[in-house]
Structures are given as C-alpha cells and as structure tokens.
Amino acid sequence: MMDQPSRPDPTASASGGFRPTPRQVGVGVAALLLIVFILANFESAEVSFIFTTVTLPLGIVVLVTTLIGMGIGATLGIRRTRRRQRRDS
C-alpha cells in the first residue's frame, strides 16, 4: 500500500493548540443560549398531546422538543448523505 501524506488538522493552530471552527463556535453559542433559556423557564405549562394533557416545567418541554428536533435533523441528514453517496458511486 502507498503511504498517503498526512493532512494537517484544520482545528489545530500553528502553536499546536485547539482552534475551533466557526461552525463549532456557532453550535457552542446556540447550546449556551439554549441552556440559559431552559434554566430561566421553569414555570409550569400545560402541554396537549394527541390524547392527553400534561403539566410540565416549560424548560423540560423546550429541552425535549429540542432533542426531538435534533434527532429528526440527524436522521434526515444521514439519509441525505447516504442518498448522495449512492448517486455518486
């Protein structure tokens, strides 16, 4: 096998330390804002599901909704990537 030249790590700075990408900074800021929002909203709220209504702290509702949205987004992203790989190969 041929040895391929190693690629430089795009997150490493010239001094060898970690340097976050703009995307990582954006995700970090969004996560921090979400945490602050969740912690600031712990009053109870009624949530109506299809067959029932429950009372939960609003912060928990926001957290669960965010996790569901992230799961759906990840699933759709994986499907899109696989579809592109099949199309390109």
For the chain, the domain total comes to 1
Question: What is the model's pTM?
Answer: 0.67
Amino acid occupying residue 51: F
% pLDDT > 70, the chain: 82
Per-residue model confidence (pLDDT) at position 89: 76
Residue 23 — very low, low, confident or very high, per pLDDT cuts 50/70/90?
very high
Q: DSSP code of 28? A: H
Q: Indicate whether 32 belongs to any domain.
A: yes
Q: Indicate whether 1 belongs to any domain.
A: no
Q: Indicate whether 31 belongs to any domain.
A: yes
Per-residue model confidence (pLDDT) at position 10: 59
Per-residue model confidence (pLDDT) at position 87: 84
Q: Indicate whether 34 belongs to any domain.
A: yes
Alpha helices in the chain (DSSP H): 22-40, 58-88
Q: DSSP code of 17? A: S
Q: Indicate whether 51 belongs to any domain.
A: yes
Expressed as residue numbers, the domain containing 82 is: 22-88
